[in-house]
Structure 1
Amino acid sequence: MQELIQAYSWINLRFLLMGLWVTIEVSVISIGLSFVIGSLLGIIRYMKLGWFSKIVGFIVDVIRNLPLLLIIFFTYFGLPKIGIHMGVMMSTTVAMTIFESAMIAEIVRSGILAVPKGQLEGALSNGLTMPETLWHILLPQAYKKMIPPLVSQFVSLIKDTSLATIIMLPEVTFRAQTIYAQKPQAIIPMFIMLALLYFVLNFTVSQLGSYFDRRMEA
């Protein structure tokens, strides 16, 4: 009991919460950027703009089939070799954004393809341009279908921030490791606390996704 009290002391909890804030910060920035970039890439792939769409499709497929850890290594250790220097926080955010943009691009492309083809043909036959059809007809319907896979991808992104411990990003997992490295008896309490924090964070995101899903269906 004494060990449990020591593990969950205010100093340790405050230390963990500071790491949780880093996790949230990286996640929010990466989710926002990857959603915008991934949507653009998915639209480009859908529109089949000749060689441009093929190049984008090839890049997306390559990134989707690489481990995220490898991309994190590349942004932190590889880019400085060609003169691009970034801190731990920026490297993690860039790596997460690159990887998640590729994943979201495929979700967006599949979502648009799931809209009945008659919607596209009807809009074009009524004089709408392709960009107008995408913005007013296809995307609103596609995003309704995309909410569940997008939420799942965002939850995966939040959990994957823990991979950045390898480059010593001071997020919540790294800080938990720091605590139990100094006090080995705290390892189980730290695992329990990590599970609780990740659950609360990801459950909140899932509930927000369900809320928006219900609102769009109403």
Structure 2
Amino acid sequence: MDFIGAYSWPNLRYLLQGFWITVQVAGLSILFSFIIGTVLGTVRYTRVAFVSRTVAILVDAIRNLPLLLIIFFIGMILPQAGIRIPTFWAAVVGLSIFEGAMISEIVRSGLVSVDKGQIEAARASGLSYMQTLRHVILPLALRRMSPPMVSQFISLIKDTSLAIIISLPELMRNVKILSGSSFSYVIPALVFASLLYFTLNYSLSLVAKRLEARQI
């Protein structure tokens, strides 16, 4: 194991460049998956006959597919059908779709958990159903579903490594390339990557613990 050689500035810079790609993909995927999940979860909660059932089937189908398959399909199969998406955005789209489906279940469960007495009180005060949903149900549900949602975002960050299958130059792909240049770099590169992932995910886990403590 050559830690000194592996941790030379050019090598560290190369790994940090991959980590920056990972952070960008994760950040955009978190944003888009939150939007997708909130919309789909709310639609399922409203129980609009045909729409809610269709969304439920779609969400269940996506949740039961491997994320790796979704990323591979978007990044490798669609281009063969003439639909070309840059590798970076293929990873973002794949992660956003899959994680959005997962988050939609968290949102739906959070909405269902809101006490019906509060809903009835809001309706009795003259608020319409949509006003009650927007001003009463969603704010209350968001507080309750924040901890599990942050936990899902942590899983999303770790799942960005699956984008290696479409050759996205994220952290793990750069680790693989650096390790291929010298076998003695394998352990040092993995150790450095582990520290980067741990720092990012542990920071989010602290946020999740703080949010969970507020619910007690």
1:127 is matched by which residue type in structure 2?
G
Q: Which residue of 2 aligns with 1:198?
A: 197
Q: Which residue of 1 aligns with 2:175?
A: 176
Post-superposition offset of 1:166: 1.1
What are structure 1's unaligned runs of at least 5 residues? none
Contact 2:75/2:85 (<8 A) preserved: yes
Contact 2:76/2:166 (<8 A) preserved: no
- The question of 1:138 aligning with 2:137 is answered yes
Contact 1:88/1:169 (<8 A) preserved: yes
Post-superposition offset of 1:193: 0.9
Post-superposition offset of 1:81: 3.5
Q: Which residue of 2 aligns with 1:37?
A: 36
Q: Deviations over 1:40-91 (max 9, x none)?
A: 1000000001101100110001001110000001101222233321011010
In the TM superposition, 1:27-106 aligns within 5 A as 27-106=26-105
Contact 2:15/2:175 (<8 A) preserved: yes
Contact 1:159/1:198 (<8 A) preserved: yes
- The question of 1:187 aligning with 2:186 is answered yes
RMSD over aligned CA atoms reads 1.6
Contact 1:144/1:217 (<8 A) preserved: yes
1:94 is matched by which residue type in structure 2?
V
Percent identity, please. Answer: 47
Q: Which residue of 2 aligns with 1:6?
A: 5
Q: Distance in 1 between matches of 2:171 and 2:125?
A: 54
Q: Which residue of 2 aligns with 1:148?
A: 147
- The question of 1:25 aligning with 2:31 is answered no
2:72 is matched by which residue type in structure 1?
F
1:140 is matched by which residue type in structure 2?
P
Post-superposition offset of 1:207: 2.4
Post-superposition offset of 1:120: 1.5
For 2:44, what is the secondary structure of its paired residue? helix
Q: Distance in 2 between matches of 1:175 and 1:67?
A: 23
For 1:120, what is the secondary structure of its paired residue? helix
For 2:127, what is the secondary structure of its paired residue? coil
Q: Distance in 1 between matches of 2:20 and 2:206?
A: 20
Post-superposition offset of 1:119: 1.5
For 2:117, what is the secondary structure of its paired residue? helix
Q: Which residue of 2 aligns with 1:164?
A: 163
Post-superposition offset of 1:212: 5.1
1:175 is matched by which residue type in structure 2?
N
Q: Distance in 2 between matches of 1:76 and 1:19?
A: 18
Post-superposition offset of 1:4: 1.2
For 2:42, what is the secondary structure of its paired residue? helix
Q: Distance in 2 between matches of 1:183 and 1:163?
A: 23
Q: Normalising by the residue count of structure 1, what TM-score does the alignment of the two structures yield?
A: 0.94
Contact 1:16/1:176 (<8 A) preserved: yes
- Residue-pair matches, total: 216
Q: Distance in 2 between matches of 1:213 and 1:136?
A: 22
1:86 is matched by which residue type in structure 2?
I
Runs of 4+ with deviation above 3 angstroms: 208-214
Q: Which residue of 2 aligns with 1:109?
A: 108
Q: Normalising by the residue count of structure 2, what TM-score does the alignment of the two structures yield?
A: 0.95
